[in-house]
Amino acid sequence: MQCSGTWRFEVPRQYSLKISVSGVRGIVGESLTPQLVASYAAAFGNYCGAGPIFIGSDTRPSGEMIKQAAIAGLLSVGCTPVDVGIVPIPALMLHVREAGAFGGIGITASHNPIEWNALKFIGAGGITLRANQAAELTDLYHQGVYTRVNAHEMTEPRTDGSTLERHRNAVISVVDEASIRARHFKVAVDCCNGAGSVATPAFLRALGCEVLEMHTDPFKPFPRDPEPLPENITGLCELVTRSGADVGFAQDGDGDRLAIVNELGQPLGEDATVALAVYHWLKTHPGPVVVNSATTRMVDDIAQQYGCPVYRTPVGEVHVVERMLQCRATIGGEGNGGVILPAVNPCRDSYVAMALVLEALAAEPVRISELRSRLSHYVMLRDRLLCEPRDIAPLLKLIRGSYQGQDLDFTDGIKVLWDNKWLQVRQSQTEPILRLTAEAPTEAEARALLTEALTILSP
């Protein structure tokens, strides 16, 4: 898998507050203010009920301010905030479920730049709010009428330091720990000084790995763009080559996405993460697979080998998880490196991805490059087009009209399908842009699809 595309551009300030099924995100001090955070947290507390609400954050410098504002909002409606500290978002979600909490709030803007932050709302079962639940919460927030408590009814915030250990044990329980430990893998990790910094080295050492750490200081700023794209993890590639590591793992800021570097120092691309996890898991746990509409065709090819159905959803963890629960999927994920394994918890989890890859390497045993070579080869290219929200529908109509007669899929935006390639144009959930994705057997074919689409959209 090869991936490329325009990296990032400045989002116009008037569009910097984004409310969606993914939560509420914005630029701290501009669109994301303490007042907004406290009010949204109060709405969430009313929505969940007066009980324990777990709160965790990534390492952004604004995290503590956002957390205190959220705690104030929760206290004002009679909830008991439980601060679990800096933790990867999948660890927080698992803890919410295991503790029987009424809900959770993850304070993280994931792959967005450091000036951004966000609230990710977690339901009582440890999963992201469903689309209808997120809509109900937003309605409650806009109404602004909350059931407040008086001073005598207010509870005290609590802390809980068991989140990381709980999550580590849960992930390790689903793999063959002994076989992984017996291999004594040398693993290079780049945690981007994010939430993984406090968890990943210990997690890998618990599996008997020799760990070569890179960017694992939670008190330092992000040293790179937190999205673990190939162009952002060149330092990890060099570390793998220089050290002779068996594999390299790169995380995003909140630890739910994983990119892999092979033993030759070559990035495999985030789509390969989900494909490798599916390839390994289906060998012993066949069943339905759910991925989003922008995920590589490698998953379909793998599932076909095992006679397993594949279901596709709109982009977004909430959509994938909801479909997984409906069809009792054995594994799923999103093509951005987010593996979802219900056997641990139905959410994107980079630790699950690491454990499955290490187990696959131990079971054969093979090099990661050889394991990847067993999968079909496609090239995926991405780009994006900044546009006014009012222009999105007309632009999508242009795409639809230009490909009349082709096989079209409307699961998320417009996806044009051919026998061995596809093009998708869809609206982003988190930025005022159209996202363009093309996948084909060769880079030339994929680039031609992207170029054609951009020509249509930019007459």
Domain end among 120, 141, 161: 161
CATH code for the domain of 390: 3.30.310.50
In a domain, 444, yes or no: yes
Phi, psi of 436, rounded to the nearest 5 degrees: -115, 130
Asked if 309 and 448 sit in the same domain, the reply is: no
441 neighbors 453 (Cβ within 8 angstroms): no
Which residues fall within 8 angstroms of residue 26, CB to CB, at 6 or more apart? 16, 17, 18, 32, 36, 116, 117, 118
Question: Which residues in 236-250 are b (16+ Cβ under 10 Å) and which e?
Answer: bbebbbeeebbbbbb
Is 110 tagged catalytic? Answer: yes
In this structure, the answer to whether residues 341 and 415 fall within a common structural domain is: no
Of 4, 110, 197, 350, which is the active-site residue?
110
Between 389-402 and 443-457, two packed helices, what is the crossing angle to 10 degrees? Answer: 120
pLDDT in tens, 348-399: 999 999 999 999 999 988 999 999 999 999 999 999 998 888 899 999 999 9
Express each pLDDT in 130-179 by its tens digit.
989 999 999 999 999 899 999 999 999 999 999 999 999 999 999 999 99
Q: Give the total number of structural domains in the chain.
A: 3
- Domain region containing 78: 13-161
Distance CA(318)–CA(135), nearest Å, equals 13
Same domain, 236 and 306: yes
Looking at the structure, tell me whether residues 323 and 368 fall in a common domain: yes
pLDDT in tens, 279-309: 999 999 999 999 999 999 999 999 999 999 9
Torsion on CA atoms 156, 162, 163, 165, rounded to nearest 10: 180
Give me the residue label for tokens 């054609």.
452
For the chain, what percent of residues have pLDDT higher than 90? 89
Amino acid identity of 292?
A: N
Specify whether 299 is located in the same domain as 352: yes
What's the pLDDT at 10? 53
- The verdict on 173 and 314 lying in the same domain is yes
Between residues 294 and 110, the one the model is more confident about: 294
What is the C-alpha end-to-end distance of the chain, expressed in Å? 31
- Residue 30 CB: number of other CB atoms within 10 A? 12
Q: Which one is predicted more confidently, 103 or 8?
A: 103
Report whether pLDDT(9) > 60: no
Q: Are residues 146 and 176 in the same domain?
A: no
pTM for the structure as a whole: 0.94
Q: How confident is the model at residue 7 (pLDDT cuts 50, 70, 90)?
A: very low
3 domain residue, yes or no: no
Using the CB atoms, write b or e for 381-399: b if 16+ within 10 Å: bbbbbebeeeebeebbebb
Residues 138 and 78 in one domain: yes
Same structural domain, 175 and 157: no
pLDDT score of 11 more than 70: no
Mean residue pLDDT of the chain comes to 94
Same domain, 210 and 243: yes
pLDDT of 3 above 50? no
Each residue of 320-356: pLDDT tens digit? 999 999 999 999 999 889 999 999 999 999 999 999 9
Residues 88 and 167: beta-carbon distance below 8 Å? yes
Give me the mean pLDDT over the 42-65 stretch.
97
